[in-house]
Amino acid sequence: MQIFDYLTPLAMNIGVFIILAVSLNLINGMCGQFSLGHAGFWAVGAYTGAAYSVYFAPTALPDFINLFIACGIGFSCAALSGVIIGVPCLRLRGDYLAIATLGFGEIIRIVIMNMDVVGGPRGFTNIPHWSNIFWIYLWVLITIVFVANLLSGTHGRAIISIREDEIAAEAMGINTFKYKTLAFVIGAGFAGVAGALFAHAQQFLHPNGFTFMWSVIILLMIILGGLGSITGSVIGAVVLTILPELLRFMGETVSQWRMVIYSVLLILLMLLRPAGIFGKRELNILKLLGLKRESYHG
Amino acid sequence: MSDSTAYFFWDLGQYLINGITQGSIYALVALGYTMVYGIIKLINFAHGEFYMVGAFTGFFLIHSGVPFFLAMPLAMLGSGLAAVIVERLVYRPIRSAGRIPALITALGVSLFLQYLGQNLLGADPRSFPDALGTKTYYLGELMISSTQIIIIITTIVLMLFLRWLVTSTKIGKAMRATSFSMDAAELMGINTDRVISFTFFVGAALAGAAGVLVGMYYNTVEPMMGLIPGLKAFVAAVLGGIGIIPGAVVGGLVLGIAENLVVGFWVSTYRDAIAFGILILILLIKPAGLLGKNTREKV
C-alpha cells in the first residue's frame, strides 16, 4: 500500500518528536530551567548511537538488541554531555542559561562538523535501518511513563518546587542544584534516545539537521501544548509534525512559508495564550475511563 | 631578529587589524543589545535581524544609485523604524508578562524576520556593490583596505555621537533615568514608552549601520546574515558587562581580536565556537562582565 509508505515515516517522526518534546518539557516546563540547546543533545545521541551501529555493532546479535544498545549508548552519551554542560550552566538563571545552552548546542554541532570519523560536513551515511514503529513507540511509552512516575515521586515534587520558586525551595531544604542537574541530565538522556532512534530511521545524518532552529521548534511544541504538561507535549509534537505535511498538500508556496507561520504562531501564543493548550493540566487515561478516582495532584 | 619571528609579528599585526575591524562591527551591534537590556532587561534576539534589515536597505539604495554617504543614514533610519514597529506591536504588550515569555517572543520575532526575508528576497547571497572603490594600502607587510579604515572611522564617529546623545541630551538623561528605575522615571513625568521606543530606534540604527559596513567588507548580503553576528554581538555585550555602554565596545573589540587571533594562529573551522566558549567562560568566572559590578540576588 502506497499510503503506508508515506504514513510510516511520518508516524516514526512523530514518535521521535514526542520523546524530544517530553524530555525538553522535563527541563523547561517541570523544572523551569530555560534550555535552548535540546537539538545538541539530540545530535549527540544520534551520532553516538549511529557510530555504534556502523563501527562496533556485532552482526551476531539480532538487530533489535543492537538498536537497544545504540539507544542505551545514545542515552548515556547525551546524559554525560548533559552533566558536562549542566554543571557549569545551571548556576546561571533565566535568560543567561538560555543563551549558554544555546551556545553549547551550537558548539556540539560545530564539533561534529569537524569530526571526520562521522562524516563531518559530508554527513554520516550507511546507518542500518533498524528503527520501526514498534521500537520507537515502545521508547515513547518508556519516556512518558518514566517522566510521569518521576514527577509523582519525591524527586519530581522537588523538581516542580524549583520551578515554582527556587529561593523558597532552597529555604525548604531542597538541594536545588542537585535536582536541577537531575532534570537536565534525564532530559538530555532521553533526547539522546530520540536521536539514536532517529538515526536508525533516517539512515543519514547531517550536522545541519541539528541547528538551533530545531531547538526552537521543539520549544514551540511544548509551549503550544503547555509548559509543564506531558499530555501537552505529546499533542504539541503531533500537531507540529503533521502541520508541515498538511501545508505541503496546500502547495509549494505554503510549505516554504512554514517557518514564517511557526514564528507567527510562537509570537501569537506568547501574546494571547502563554499557557498553551493544556496549561499545566494532564489528561489521565485511567481517570478518563473511570478506572481511577480523582486524585489530588498539584 | 630571525625571519620567522619577523613574520610572526607581521602576522600578529595583520590579525590585530582584521580583529579590530571585526570587533568594531560587533561593538556597533552589541551597543543595541546592551541599551535594550539596560532599559527593559530583554535579550532582544531579533537585534541581529535589524542588522540584516539595515544591510538590505543599504544594498537596495546603493544599487539604485544613491551615493554611499546618503545611503548609510537612510539604511540606519530603515532598520531603526523596523525596530520601532516591532517594539510597538510585539514587545510592548508582552513587557509585563515577565522575562522568559518576552525572550521567547523575541526568538519568534527573530525567526519571523529571517524567514520572511528568505521568502521575499530569496535565500541566495547577493553581492554588495563596491560603492566607494576599495583600495588596499600596504605598510610593510601589513595590508589595510580602505573599507577597513571606513569601518573603523564610522564606528568611532557613531560611538562619539552615542556618547553625546546619552550623556548630554534631554532624551539621553531620560534613558538613563528609565534604565535606573522605570517606576521612578515615570513618576518624574518621563514618558517611558517613548523612551523605550527611542532606545530601540537608536540601537537598531547602529546595528543597521554595522549591516551596511559588513555588506561592504564581505561584499555579500543574505537574509540569514544576522543570526551568527547577532549571537556574537550578544556575547560581546555580556563579555563587557550587559547594560553598560562602554562595556559593549570593550567586549566587541576583545571578541573580534580574540576570534581573529585564534583563527589565524590555530584553527579556522572552530571560528563560531570561540565566541560561545568565551561566553560560557565569562558567565562562569565573572557573570557581571569585564566592566560590571557583581550584584547579589535578594528575595
In a domain, A227, yes or no: no
Q: How many domains does chain B have?
A: 1
Say yes or no for a CB contact (<8 Å) between A95 and B116: no
pLDDT at B199 over 60: yes
Interface membership of A279 toward B (CB under 8 Å): no
Q: Which residue of A has its CA nearest to B274?
A: A107
Interface membership of A87 toward B (CB under 8 Å): no
Q: Residue A291: its pLDDT value, please? A: 59
In a domain, A104, yes or no: yes
Expressed in angstroms, the distance from the first to the final Cα of chain B is: 61
Q: Taking Cα atoms as reference points, which of B199, B201, B206 lies closest to residue B252? A: B206
Question: B262, B270 in Cβ contact below 8 A?
Answer: yes
Q: Residue B295: its pLDDT value, please? A: 64
CA A65 to chain B, closest CA, distance in angstroms equals 37
Per-window interface: A 182-241 vs B, CB < 8 A:
212-213, 216, 219, 223
Q: Which residue of B has its CA nearest to A263?
A: B108
Question: A153, A298 in Cβ contact below 8 A?
Answer: no
Interface membership of B6 toward A (CB under 8 Å): no
Domain range holding B136? 14-285
CA A206 to chain B, closest CA, distance in angstroms equals 17
In a domain, B9, yes or no: no
Interface membership of B272 toward A (CB under 8 Å): yes
Q: Which of A164, A215, A260 to mutate to test the interface with B (most CBs of B within 10 A)?
A: A260
User: Which residue positions in chain A have pLDDT lower than 70?
Assistant: 1, 255, 285-298
Contacts of A270 in chain B (CB under 8 A): 94, 97, 101, 104-105, 108
Q: Which residue of A has its CA nearest to B116?
A: A260
Say yes or no for a CB contact (<8 Å) between B94 and A94: no
Q: How many domains does chain A have?
A: 1
Radius of gyration of chain B from Cα atoms? 19
Interface membership of B93 toward A (CB under 8 Å): yes
Say yes or no for a CB contact (<8 Å) between A95 and B43: yes
In a domain, B295, yes or no: no
Interface membership of B269 toward A (CB under 8 Å): yes
Q: Which residues contact A246 (CB under 8 A, 6 or more apart)?
A: none
Q: Residue A168: its pLDDT value, please? A: 92
Domain range holding A190? 8-211
Q: Residue B4: its pLDDT value, please? A: 82
Q: Which residue has the cell 499557557?
A: A275
Q: Which residue has the cell 605598510?
A: B139
How many Å apart are CA B161 and CA B107, to the nearest integer?
Answer: 30
In a domain, B4, yes or no: no
Radius of gyration of chain A from Cα atoms? 19
Q: Which residue of A has its CA nearest to B102?
A: A270
In a domain, A16, yes or no: yes
CA A6 to chain B, closest CA, distance in angstroms equals 27
Strands of A211-258 (E only): list them: none
Contacts of A109 in chain B (CB under 8 A): none
How many Å apart are CA A190 and CA A49, to the nearest integer?
Answer: 13
CA B279 to chain A, closest CA, distance in angstroms equals 7
Chain segment B139-176, per-residue pLDDT in tens:
877 888 888 999 999 999 999 999 999 999 999 999 99
Average pLDDT over residues B49-62: 93
Say yes or no for a CB contact (<8 Å) between B107 and A216: yes
Q: Which of B276, B294, B296, B299 to mutate to test the interface with A (most CBs of A within 10 A)?
A: B276
Question: A131, A201 in Cβ contact below 8 A?
Answer: yes
In a domain, B251, yes or no: yes
Sign of CA dihedral B82, B83, B84, B88: positive
Helix (H) or strand (E) holding B142: strand B142-145
Q: Look at residue A205 and give its three-state secondary structure.
A: strand
Residue A191 CA, distance from chain mean position: 4
Q: Residue B262: its pLDDT value, please? A: 87
What is the identity of the amino acid at B49? E
In a domain, B298, yes or no: no
Chain segment A232-267, per-residue pLDDT in tens:
999 999 999 998 888 777 777 776 788 888 889 889
CA B241 to chain A, closest CA, distance in angstroms equals 12
How many Å apart are CA A109 and CA A135, to the nearest integer?
Answer: 27
Write b or e for each residue in B221-244: b if 16 or more Cβ atoms lie within 10 A of its Cβ, otherwise e.
Answer: bbbebbbebbbbbbbbbbbbbbbb
In CATH, what number is assigned to the domain containing residue B56?
Answer: 1.10.3470
pLDDT at B123 over 60: yes
Q: Tell me how far apart the 2 most distant CA atoms of chain A are, in Å.
A: 61
SS (H, E, C) chain B: CCHHHHHHHHHHHHHHHHHHHHHHHHHHHHHHHHHHHHHHCCCCCCHHHHHHHHHHHHHHHHHCCCCHHHHHHHHHHHHHHHHHHHHHHHHHHHHHHCHHHHHHHHHHHHHHHHHHHHHHHCCCCEECCCCCCCCEEEECCEEEEHHHHHHHHHHHHHHHHHHHHHHHCHHHHHHHHHHHCHHHHHHCCCCHHHHHHHHHHHHHHHHHHHHHHHHHHHCEECCCCCHHHHHHHHHHHHHHCCCCHHHHHHHHHHHHHHHHHHHHHCCCCCHHHHHHHHHHHHHHHCCCCCCCCCCCCCC
In a domain, A109, yes or no: yes
Q: Which residue of B has its CA nearest to A100?
A: B280
Say yes or no for a CB contact (<8 Å) between B104 and A91: no
pLDDT band at residue B116 using 50, 70 and 90 as cut-offs: very high
In a domain, B203, yes or no: yes
Contacts of A111 in chain B (CB under 8 A): 273
Weakest mean pLDDT among A208-222, B29-43, B205-219, B276-290: B276-290
Say yes or no for a CB contact (<8 Å) between B111 and A92: no
Cβ atoms < 10 Å from Cβ of A222: 29
Interface membership of A27 toward B (CB under 8 Å): no
- Please count the CA atoms within 13 angstroms of the CA of A55 that sit on its side-chain side: 10
Task: Write down the ipTM of this complex.
Answer: 0.82
What is the identity of the amino acid at B93? P
Q: Which of A35, A116, A267 to mutate to test the interface with B (most CBs of B within 10 A)?
A: A267
Contacts of A216 in chain B (CB under 8 A): 107, 111
Chain segment A45-58, per-residue pLDDT in tens:
999 999 999 998 88
Q: Residue B1: its pLDDT value, please? A: 59
Write b or e for each residue in B127-143: b if 16 or more Cβ atoms lie within 10 A of its Cβ, otherwise e.
Answer: ebbebeeeeeeeeeeee
- Tell me if the pTM is above 0.90: no
Cβ-nearest to A88 among B94, B269, B280 = B280
- B268 vs A175, higher pLDDT: A175
Q: Which residue of A has its CA nearest to B123?
A: A256
